[in-house]
Chain A
Amino acid sequence: MILKKIVFNVNGVAAVRGFSDYVKRDLQLAYRSLGDTVAPLIFFTMVCTLVPLGLSPDTQRLSEVAPSMLWIMALLSTLLSIERIFIHDYEDGSLEQLLIAPQLIEIPILGKIVAHWLVTGLPLTLMSPLLGLMLSLPGSAYPALLLSLAIGTAYLSAVGAVGASLTVSLGRGGLLLPLLVVPLYMPIIIFGTATVTFAVDAMQWLGPLAAMGAMLCAAIALCPLAAAAALRFSSI
């Protein structure tokens, strides 16, 4: 019994270390290829500039579409970068090393998802008030925008990791990946835009935000399992 406990504790410590090691490693890698890391953020800004050019610079009309536009742009920016979560590891062979190592691979995968969110989702969230300002989003909506994007982009990273793991061995997965992942993203964009729109209309916006939180919890629990299963067959 005691022995079991010790073994469990040792495994627990190893698992936590695997998680934080992979977060650190992926953050370091992101820092070293800064151009790739910043590209989704620049894309986010540039596409937001297209909205007034394509629609109208009229502040009234812009503020009407701002919540949905910001959310769609954030989704597309995440989609642009999600392939990178496994592709470099696959190419340089470190993914294979991870797969043959005698440990759970779900924990390192969760670490990679968290690192991806820290590098893509979190900066997008932090930048969104600036773009909201440019799209004349009403002032009452900023807390909802920040919170919904923070939770929502984490969900996008987790579900996107499953798509990325399915297509990693294809090489030309960049074209296929959005096709697989976008249908799965549809619920989160419904709740995400609803949260911000409710806040604009001065309504209670905690409801849809709570639904997003629940979806994120489910995604954190299930997505590493699915991604691990997909990576195991892609290496054979």
Chain B
Amino acid sequence: MAMGSTKWQWFYRLGSPRWFYEISGRWLPWLVCATIILLGVGLFWGLALAPPDARQGHSFRIIYLHVPASLLALAGYYIMAVTGAVGLIWRIKMSFMLMKSAAPIGAALTFMALFTGAVWGKPSWGTYWVWDARITSMLILLFLYLGVLALQRAFTSVEAGYRASAILALVGTVNIPIIYKSVDWWHTLHQPATLKLTSASSIHTDMLEPLVVMVCGFYVFYVLALCLFTRSEIVQQESATAWVKALATSESRT
């Protein structure tokens, strides 16, 4: 029995908001440094050093924001759903807090992916918006995020808000493959002949390397943002506990 308890200790410790607050406080400087370095290097490399595209010229450079944002927008939904599921199954409040923090970040990244896509679309295809399969799927993903955000904030009981939005995130996860497949099928049905998005996908290594750096930078930035949002959620929800009160008094003194 004693063995079992030590084996699971790390798992239970994860469930403690105080433990997360303290450990993430130690991570923060490192995360900030890594984010600044990776994003700085990636942006400078991508925007200044990488060669311009043969057909699109300099406008292709928005890829360095667009691709990482789209990748993380989708990954963020799964992070939200998984943390929500963990919260529902093991009733871990900490997991719900992570889920709640993942929603606004994911929604912002989805919006950023759509916005940079529109800005990119104007010079390369001559229009801001087309009903392309991937663009439409991203728009639906934004709606799914907005639904979770709205539901989180609708409940007066924090606990009920957590659980409701976790269930909605899980229902959305089951639906995402169906939505993607159906939108893909719908698009091939109404294929507009004027432009193609999937061609010219072979990317030169000089352009790819800064993109990889940017994707890594966005992942670190995502973790940083998630930590910051979760820390503020912890302080809000645990404001009645002794350690948060002690934290508040010690910080106001310094």
The chain A residues found within 8 Å of chain B, CB to CB, are 162, 166-167, 169-170, 172-173, 176, 179-180, 182-184, 186-187, 190-191, 194, 211, 215, 222, 226, 229-230, 233-234, 236
In the complex, B31 has a CB within 8 A of chain A: no
Closest to B144 in A: A183
Q: Tell me the nearest residue of chain B to A226, going by C-beta.
A: B171
CB pair A176 B150 closer than 8 Å: yes
At the interface, yes or no: B155 with Cβ under 8 Å from chain A?
yes
What are 16 residue pairs bridging A and B, where the CB atoms are less than 8 Å apart in the complex? A173-B154, A180-B147, A180-B151, A180-B168, A186-B179, A187-B178, A187-B181, A187-B182, A187-B183, A190-B183, A211-B182, A215-B178, A229-B88, A230-B163, A233-B164, A236-B160
Minimal Cβ-Cβ distance residue in A for B163 = A233
Contact check, A190 vs B150: say whether CB atoms are below 8 A apart.
no
Query: Among the listed B159, B167, B178, which residue makes an inter-chain contact with A229, where contact means beta carbons less than 8 Å apart?
Result: B167
* CB-defined contacts of A187 to chain B, threshold 8 Å: 175, 178-179, 181-183
Cβ contact within 8 Å between B150 and A184: no
Residue of B nearest to A184 (CB): B175
Find chain B residues with CB under 8 A from A172 CB.
154
Whether B167 and A226, one on each chain, are in contact in the complex, defined by CB atoms closer than 8 angstroms, is yes
Tell me whether B151 and A166 are in contact (CB under 8 A). Answer: yes
Which residues from chain B sit less than 8 Å from chain A, CB to CB? Answer: 88, 140, 143-144, 146-147, 150-151, 154-155, 159-160, 163-164, 167-168, 170-172, 174-175, 178-179, 181-183, 185-186, 189
Q: Are B167 and A166 in contact (CB under 8 A)?
A: yes
Residues of B close to A229: CB separation below 8 A: 88, 167
Contact between A166 and B150, CB atoms less than 8 A apart? no
Bound together, the chains give a CA A215 to CA B167 distance in angstroms of: 19
Most buried by A among B147, B160, B175, B185: B147
Distance A226 CA – B84 CA, assembled complex (angstroms): 14
Q: Give A167 to B150 CA distance when docked, in angstroms.
A: 11
In Å, the complex CA distance between A179 and B143 comes to 8
Q: Is the CB of A194 within 8 A of B147?
A: no
Whether A233 lies near B160 (C-beta < 8 A) is: yes
A233 CA / B181 CA spacing, docked (Å):
32
Q: Is the CB of B172 within 8 A of A184?
A: yes
In the complex, A222 Cα to B183 Cα: how many Å? Answer: 22
Minimal Cβ-Cβ distance residue in B for A230: B167
Q: Which of A169, A211, A226 contacts B160 (CB 8 A)?
A: A169
Q: How many angstroms from the CA of A183 to the CA of B174 in the assembled complex?
A: 12
A162 close to B171 (CB less than 8 A): yes
Instruction: Report the bound CA distance from A184 to B141 in whole Å.
Output: 10
Does the CB pair A234–B150 fall under 8 Å? no
Contact residue among B154, B164, B174, B189 (Cβ-Cβ distance under 8 Å from A222): B174
| A170 and B172 contact, CB distance less than 8 A | no
Q: For the complex formed, measure the closest distance between the CB of B187 and the CB atoms of chain A, giving whole angstroms.
A: 10
Quick one: given A166-B164, A170-B155, are A179 and B147 in contact (CB under 8 Å)?
yes
Minimal Cβ-Cβ distance residue in B for A198: B189
Distance between A211 CB and nearest chain B CB, rounded to angstroms: 8
What CA separation (Å) do A162 and B171 show in the bound complex? 9
Contact B164 A186 (CB under 8 A): no
Q: Complex Cα distance A191/B181, Å?
A: 11
Pair B167/A191 contact, Cβ less than 8 Å: no
Given contacts A179-B146, A222-B174, A229-B167, contact A190 B182 (CB under 8 A): yes
Please state if B154 and A191 are interface contacts (CB–CB under 8 Å): no
CA gap between A186 and B143 in the complex, in Å: 11
